[in-house]
Amino acid sequence: MSADSEIHVLKPDSYLNNDNHTEKASSKEKSPIIYNGKIVQVECKVRARIPYPGGQFYLQLYHNNIDSKEHLVYVFGEHIKSKSLNSKKQDETEIQRKIRGADIEHNLAPLPSKNQNVIPLVRIHSECYTGETVSSTRCDCGYQLAEAMRLMSIANNGVVIYLRQEGRNIGLMEKLKAYNLQDMGHDTVNANLLLNHPADGRSYEIAQAILDDLEINEINILTNNPDKIEKITLNSNITVANRIPMVPSWWLNKDTADHMETPHGLVHNPMINYDQIGDQVSSSSSSTTFVHEHTSNGTSSKEYNEYLGYEKDNLPGDINKTLSEPPSLFSSEHNLLDLNKPSSSSYERHIRPTRPTMTEADKYLLTKALKMGHMLDIPKF
């Protein structure tokens, strides 16, 4: 694997080091997953192969007994199987099994794979129509989904759980109202609160049940969100082995490598090497991995407003300009895309955004780091 495609891993953060989260997956007693007093049940209804510009994956559709939404799973690797999909149905024929994507009866066992005993990459992703479908640059959701797919395709071992929780679970209509409030000067958190919604109303019990259906109980999670890590492991047999940070690609070039630490700790930047956590930064290009220490240090509203750039002239870049070349992070022998050619698909557009076009996404990321505790290093623009 080339340096450009290296996955930078962080051990679980210190706030997880308590009796509830440090047990090994094998020693945890399996207990039912409960949502509002109800045992969560999920069933994979169909699985189909999806070719895309970065390779291929299997798309699985789930029904559940909690809501009427059709949650999805992107599966990378032949060895990851669904128990409910492959369960035997009464009077089902072989062709009926094939139509819904289940293994035929004589091939129910997972295929041998070198990744079979490797902890999978897992991204628990909430639907974002604006960021993913119409390529809005108010947020980094499209990039995070595409980057997770890229890393899983390289590893041939991973799962994206795509939850239908639009707008941090307030729905598209309310999310668009929140956008109007943001255009009036409010940030993404305050906009939700002004609409009488929580800052983040998402839940992860269905994701827990899906992981159980896939027989995955130890994960390498791709996230910057400490709340997500805590909730996915809460009252479940799931253990987070490592956290892989989702650092925006447009921050990862030599022109934006000078980062400012948020109150929530350091996130590794693969373009620079910290010899130690401190003031000295080496110019070496070799990489170092960090263990985070989560702190509850606050930031004053004055500091926050300065970071967020309410003085509009302080915002980074010019949204009308584009860079002549995409960030070099994605030039990899493992990547099937030619990133020097014009974008031709939504996946390609999302995988290589440029810094000037992501000005509004940077404001969104600043808010998530400084108000919601997301673990991100903020560039000094």
Contact 312, 377 (CB under 8 A): no
What torsion, rounded to 10 degrees, do the Cα atoms 276, 367, 360, 350 define? 60
Which residue among 138, 150, 202, 352 is the active-site one?
Answer: 202
Please say if 377 is a catalytic residue. Answer: no
The residues, ordered by sequence, that sit 6+ positions from 220 with a Cβ below 8 Å of its Cβ are 9, 119, 120, 121, 122, 240, 241, 242, 243, 244
SS3 182: helix
DSSP classification of residue 275:
S
DSSP structure class, residue 103: P
3-state secondary structure of 106: helix
AA identity, residue 52: Y
* Catalytic site residue from 140, 200, 362, 377: 200
Neighbours of 129 (CB within 10 A): 14
Rounded to whole angstroms, how far apart are CA atoms 318 and 322?
8
- Rounded to an integer, what distance in angstroms lies between the CA atom of residue 189 and that of residue 373? 12
Which of 353, 355, 378 lies closest to 143 in space, CA to CA? Answer: 353
At residue 207, φ and ψ (nearest 5 deg) are -65, -40
Output DSSP code: residue 341.
Answer: S
Are 126 and 161 in contact, with CB atoms under 8 Å apart? Answer: no
Q: Is 202 tagged catalytic?
A: yes
DSSP 219: E
Q: What are phi and psi of 168, to 5 degrees?
A: 55, 40
Active site residues: 200, 202
